[in-house]
Structure 1
Amino acid sequence: MRRLRQLAERTPPGRERYVDLLRALAITMVVLGHWGVTAIGYDHGRPAGHSALADLPWAWPLTWLAQVMPVFFLVGGYANAASLAARRNRGGTATGWLVDRSARLVRPTTALLLVLAAGATVATVRDADPGQVRTVVWFATIPLWFLVAYFVVVASTPPMYALHERFGLAVPAVLVVLVALGDLGRLVGPAGLADGNYLFAWLAVHQLGFAWFDARSPEHSRRRRLPLSRRAGAVLLVGGLVALVLLTVVGPYPVAMLHVPGERLDNAAPPSLALLAAATAQLGLILLLRRPAGRWLRRPGPWRVVIAVNAVVLTVFLWHLTAAILLIGLLDALGVLPTPPVGSAAWWGWRIPWLLALAVMLAALVAVFGPVEARTRRPRATGPADVGGRRLRTTLAVVGYAALVAGLLLNSLAPKAAPEPLGLPAPALAAYLAGAGLLRVLRSGWGSRG
């Protein structure tokens, strides 16, 4: 508590605290959504989970608010723009920013992967079914799908912010057009055109975060600034909802913004035009609540809670499905794992104790692994390097990020039941650790002077 009070007291007056609140709320909603919508049953005598949304069609419109990944990319854009601008004001470089930015993301992710690989190895040595081991690890690493996109977006921040400085809000507009073209490929072919939406959609939302950051500086041109008035919020909310209804109720897109088994299209994988309409409505709601939320966050108590959550926010996200696996395994071993039919009174009655038990399990994991994320250090002060040295560092930083993305992507694309002694494909783990190690060497100051 003393540490939290100190951090709260040192908060700069100009900090947009609302961004921190939104990040904490977004991850909390993701965790509660995954936990709450999971239905547990048995498959060939083994516990198995699946989404209950297919059995709850009345809840599909609720996903317009519950699908909060756009919020995370929005606040990510704001935070990345603010951090990059601060680094440049101190005389730093985009490469230095990129290298240091990786630390907060890489450390907790590496901890998760190493622990899962170690646990899978022990299970394999003890004659566990390698296919079952892989299935468990695959489920635990589902959150890494998000990190694949976010690593790419972070690595793209310096050039994309340069585009924002030149073209402003025209950049996300072009990206939305590209998403629409990808969706056209999904609807009439070729379906492969939609693969680019994994990047274009999240980049579009991330660019709006840049525009939000620039809105706090009057010297920036209007085309670079996001309008923050309540009127703008109302227009975005109503416009987003109208577009969403037209695209889903009238048009070809599913109503649910999360994956529903059996649906022809998935609005989230890859992100669709309908998901961007939902993101527009969410942005409008965010702007409408901005001022009252800002006043509330000036109170010490709420602000300290936001600081505490954000100190371990990635740890919470990364480990929340592992918490579910551990709880399911424990209850199954004790012979008390409840598997009521989805929608039944017993299923609904189990929701509250289920969430509370998962929260306790996750709290224990965060207590162990949270310090890995919370232990942040200020960037090393480095002096100027020669042109060749700067180019080398930039190249190595890009290679490091590419290896991280390749490793996580290989794991996510590998079959969930393929026999893997490590639980993860060995090439995936090797690529990720190589990228993490390379970025760690660069953060140590190698290749720079001073």
Structure 2
Amino acid sequence: MGAHSKGAVRTGPVADPAELPRAQAPRPAGRDRYFDALRALALVRVVAYHTFGWAWAGLVFPSMGVMFGLAGTLMAKSLERPALKVLRSRLRRLLPPFWFWGLFVVTAMLVHGWMPGRQIVFWVVPLGDPPGSAWAEQAWEILWYLRTYLWFVLLSPVLLWVFRRAPRTVLPLSLVPILLLTFWRNAPDNRFGTALEDLSTYLTCWLLGFAHRDGVLGRIRPAVLVLPSLAAMACGGWYAFAHRADAGTYDLDEIPLAQALWSAGFVALLMYAKAYLGTDFAWLARPRARLRSRGGTLIRRLDRLVTVFNARAVTIYLWHEIALILAVPLIDLMWDVPAFETYLPLGSQWFLFGVGWVLIAAFVLLCGWVEDVAGRKKPRLLP
């Protein structure tokens, strides 16, 4: 979720016979528009999923796995600096937007009769799921991602040290925790168990971010990476549909092992496209003169949108459910206006989706400055 910058690439261990004997190309300076675009797409998919509830959305684009993979890449880059300094920086950039958002959510729950217990401490540092009332569950249930992200950040110095000892061994072994929780012993039914299950589900995605940053993926032959990735996705998809009756759906969010396998394979392919094929979206940032000469107004606007999404990723994620909640009574009021009732598709979920994005944009303007303050930048309406 932090700003993405470039730097020197660690070469990692000497390549084995399965790897291609070629060096990594130098990374360009500045932001990586490929990763920026993936993060923006992931946020759009999250909002769409919470609007429409599409069970197949995770199969088309496993947004949470992608976001953890991208965050892992950024964390590996950041840990080229002293670990304690990096951890302080990450906490400083994450917690103030969370506190600002939580101030409104907690106040609303208190006004509606919620009585907090000692677990309210998790509203200060979300190492466990913050408690909340059923009335506001749609708003606070998304905090599992921030809790999981925070744990990954805190564990990253150790995870990165272990990963760099034997990356090609650690990557496949990172699926062992979720396999154990699925087939050997279930996670405890408490905050610790929930956090453990989520960490196990997305551990491989986080480590794939390390692998990309360290140049491990770019040295692997296509067949050695692509075939296992496709096999992981096939196993994940099969497991989701095979256990559809048990979970009541094939939605990956409800089946952790299927989520882990599908996301790992999907993220590996996305990272490999960048590392081996050199995929980038540099056309988003072409010089303005060239864009004008080629009718690039749409591209400029898309580039601008990707920039805003990345600079306001925490704000969009935290406030999008509240925007969707508020969109419902707002649309209800529109039914009382005859012209709106006649000419607007007020009963359509797509209309709800559109109104939700209008409200998200309003929250970005009203609350996004907190991310600037947290990042020690000058507060701005839009980056």
Instruction: With the length of structure 2 as denominator, give the TM-score of the two structures.
Output: 0.69
1:70 pairs with 2:65: yes
1:374 pairs with 2:363: no
Aligned residue in 2 for 1:144:
143
Q: Is the 8 A contact 2:76 2:210 kept in 1?
A: yes
Residue pairs, 1:128-277, within 5 angstroms: 134-185=133-184, 190=186, 192=188, 196-215=196-215, 225-227=216-218, 232=222, 236=225, 239-249=228-238, 252-254=239-241, 263=248, 267-268=252-253, 271-273=256-258, 275-277=260-262
Out of 104, 110, 116, the residue aligned to residue 121 of structure 1 is: 110
Aligned residue in 1 for 2:355:
357
**CA RMSD, Structure 1 to Structure 2 (Å):** 3.7
Q: Is the 8 A contact 1:70 1:202 kept in 2?
A: yes
Q: Is the 8 A contact 1:179 1:273 kept in 2?
A: no
- C-alpha displacement at 1:274, in angstroms? 5.0
Q: Is the 8 A contact 2:232 2:261 kept in 1?
A: no
Aligned residue in 2 for 1:390:
none
- C-alpha displacement at 1:191, in angstroms? 6.2
Instruction: With the length of structure 1 as denominator, give the TM-score of the two structures.
Output: 0.60
The residue type equivalent to 1:17 in the other structure is R
- C-alpha displacement at 1:228, in angstroms? 6.8
Q: Is the 8 A contact 1:201 1:272 kept in 2?
A: yes
Q: Is the 8 A contact 1:35 1:355 kept in 2?
A: yes
Deviations 1:281-305 (Å, cap 9, x if unpaired)?
3431453376453332442535443
CA, structure 1 residues 205+292, in 2 after alignment: closer, same or farther (shift >3 Å)? closer
Out of 71, 94, 99, the residue aligned to residue 88 of structure 2 is: 99
Identity of aligned residues (%): 28
Unaligned runs of 5+ in 2: 6-26, 115-131, 288-299, 337-343, 378-383
Rounded to whole Å, the distance in 2 between the matches of 1:173 and 1:367 is 43
Report how many residues are paired.
310
Rounded to whole Å, the distance in 1 between the matches of 2:208 and 2:271 is 13
Q: Is the 8 A contact 2:34 2:279 kept in 1?
A: no
- C-alpha displacement at 1:12, in angstroms? 6.8
Rounded to whole Å, the distance in 2 between the matches of 1:260 and 1:369 is 42
CA, structure 1 residues 107+12, in 2 after alignment: closer, same or farther (shift >3 Å)? farther
Deviations 1:82-119 (Å, cap 9, x if unpaired)?
1221xx2xxxx311211111122111111111011223
Rounded to whole Å, the distance in 1 between the matches of 2:164 and 2:137 is 40
Deviations 1:239-258 (Å, cap 9, x if unpaired)?
43444334543xx43379xx
Rounded to whole Å, the distance in 1 between the matches of 2:256 and 2:268 is 16
- C-alpha displacement at 1:180, in angstroms? 1.6
Q: Is the 8 A contact 2:65 2:202 kept in 1?
A: yes
- C-alpha displacement at 1:190, in angstroms? 5.0
Q: Is the 8 A contact 1:76 1:206 kept in 2?
A: yes
- C-alpha displacement at 1:15, in angstroms? 4.4
Out of 25, 28, 41, the residue aligned to residue 41 of structure 2 is: 25
Q: Is the 8 A contact 1:198 1:269 kept in 2?
A: no
CA, structure 1 residues 245+97, in 2 after alignment: closer, same or farther (shift >3 Å)? closer
1:283 pairs with 2:274: no
Q: Is the 8 A contact 2:171 2:208 kept in 1?
A: yes
CA, structure 1 residues 13+190, in 2 after alignment: closer, same or farther (shift >3 Å)? closer
- C-alpha displacement at 1:63, in angstroms? 2.7
CA, structure 1 residues 326+304, in 2 after alignment: closer, same or farther (shift >3 Å)? closer
Secondary structure of 1:330's counterpart equals helix
- C-alpha displacement at 1:312, in angstroms? 0.6
Q: Is the 8 A contact 2:232 2:264 kept in 1?
A: no
Q: Is the 8 A contact 1:77 1:209 kept in 2?
A: yes
1:296 pairs with 2:291: no
Rounded to whole Å, the distance in 1 between the matches of 2:352 and 2:246 is 23
Which range moved further: 317-326 or 11-20? 11-20
